[in-house]
Amino acid sequence: MIQRTTMMKVGESDMYLQWKKALAAIVLGTIGSIAHAADYPSAGPVRLIVGFTPGNSIDSTARIVGDALAARLKQSFVVDNRAGANGMIAARAVAQSKPDGYTLLVSNSSSLTVNQLLFKELQFDSLRDLTPITTVITVPFVLVINPDNPKMKGINDVKSLVEYARQHPGALSYGSAGNGNLMHLAGAQLATASGVNMVHIPYRGAGPAELALMSKDIDFVFDTLSGISHIKSGKFKALAVSTAQRWYDLPDVPSVAEQGYPGFDIGFWVGLLGPTGMPPDIVNLLNREVAQVVQDPKVKEQLLLHGRPDTLGTGEFKQKIASELQKNADLIKRADIKVE
């Protein structure tokens, strides 16, 4: 045995040493990963980058969850607003950050499942450049009309709205928060699903679209939850919710799917993501912690003002992004949506 060992060829010796080094690296890497997870986030505050201004529902969601995580993990979670380019400035900042779990993104689905389909010059891919951690809330749109609009007299549901559009081609208009926004895609999906011609009019945000509906400049909007106060005051009339599941605060308002359009299910989510290359143990830790905090009654009550608490596993979240990218790409092509 000793003789065979001493006569080992040089090439075989080199391979053996390389194998030992590789094995040592794996062992040390595993130990380091475990230690990293055990220490996280003791190295300092965690930044939650938000691509929208303070007061926005995405910003509010980040602050609610950030405060709850800070209480559980005994570390500050600081919201850093970097508004612009429909959330892409923030997404790029996180994608280019160190993947150590101390710089995270709180984003909506519009930024990550629509932008790259319409703005080719972005050179950004949500699945390639970010690590999905978990969704936090899901949010429906509410299809609303102005009951004082003479054109809407007798319109009480999706069927009658579509029938009006069919009898008056091009006469029915809908507003959105901007060209290519998910509010736009919801209207486009209804138009393509029903095979009628409806005119899209983009505005700079949901608020201006609501004002246009009040002034009868447009005929309907797939509005955000901010429109619920107008529904309850009687200024708006709700015909449907855009998601397959009804909204808890509007229990008597059926979904579009319930009204003859099975498969109609469009809304948006707010989720937590990090840069590509994050340690899996930290990703899993954050996923578990967020799932815990959203079940806290006080946190849940706060979140319900902005959407329905809904957390997914990391793998499920990644699949959701991929699925919505494909679904939105198909709709954009079918509706011939372009951004100039």
pLDDT tens for the 340 residues of the chain, in order: 333 333 344 444 444 445 444 444 444 444 444 446 679 999 999 999 999 989 888 999 999 999 999 999 999 999 999 998 889 999 999 999 999 999 999 999 999 999 999 987 888 899 999 999 999 999 999 999 999 999 999 999 999 999 999 999 999 999 998 888 899 999 999 999 999 999 999 998 888 999 999 999 999 999 999 899 999 999 999 999 999 999 999 999 999 999 999 999 999 999 999 999 999 999 999 999 999 999 999 999 999 999 999 999 999 999 999 999 999 999 999 999 988 6
Does residue 149 sit in the same domain as residue 134? no
What residue numbers bound the domain in which 193 lies? Answer: 142-259
Dihedral sign computed on CA atoms, order 220, 224, 229, 232: positive
Q: What is the pTM of this model?
A: 0.83
Does residue 250 sit in the same domain as residue 154? yes
In a domain, 131, yes or no: yes
Does residue 234 sit in the same domain as residue 289? no
Per residue in 64-98, pLDDT (tens digit) is 999 999 999 999 999 999 998 889 999 999 999 99
Per-residue model confidence (pLDDT) at position 85: 85
What's the farthest any 2 CA atoms get from each other in the chain? 101
Out of 259, 287, 306, a domain closes at 259
Token code pair at residue 163: 């029938």
Out of 259, 277, 301, a domain closes at 259
Phi, psi of 233 (to 5 degrees): -85, -10
Does residue 94 sit in the same domain as residue 148? no
In a domain, 19, yes or no: no
Does residue 201 sit in the same domain as residue 107? no
Cis peptide leading into residue 45 (ω within 30°): no
Per-residue model confidence (pLDDT) at position 30: 43
CATH number of the domain encompassing residue 234:
3.40.190.10
Does residue 98 sit in the same domain as residue 115? yes
Per-residue model confidence (pLDDT) at position 121: 83
In a domain, 27, yes or no: no
Per residue in 19-61, pLDDT (tens digit) is 444 444 444 444 444 446 679 999 999 999 999 989 888 999 9
Report the C-alpha gap between 265 and 242 in whole angstroms.
Answer: 6
> Which of helix, strand or coil describes residue 49?
strand
Per-residue model confidence (pLDDT) at position 7: 39
Report the C-alpha gap between 32 and 24 in whole angstroms.
Answer: 12
Does residue 253 sit in the same domain as residue 150? yes
CB 302 within 8 A of CB 124: no
- Structural domains in the chain (count): 2
Taking CA 312 as the corner, what is the angle to CA 225 and CA 87, rounded to the nearest 5 degrees? 55
In a domain, 232, yes or no: yes
Does residue 236 sit in the same domain as residue 152? yes
In a domain, 301, yes or no: yes
Per-residue model confidence (pLDDT) at position 202: 93
CB 150 within 8 A of CB 285: no
Q: Residue 12: exposed, middle, or buried by beta-carbon count in 10 A (0-12, 13-18, 19+)?
A: exposed
Does residue 128 sit in the same domain as residue 151? no
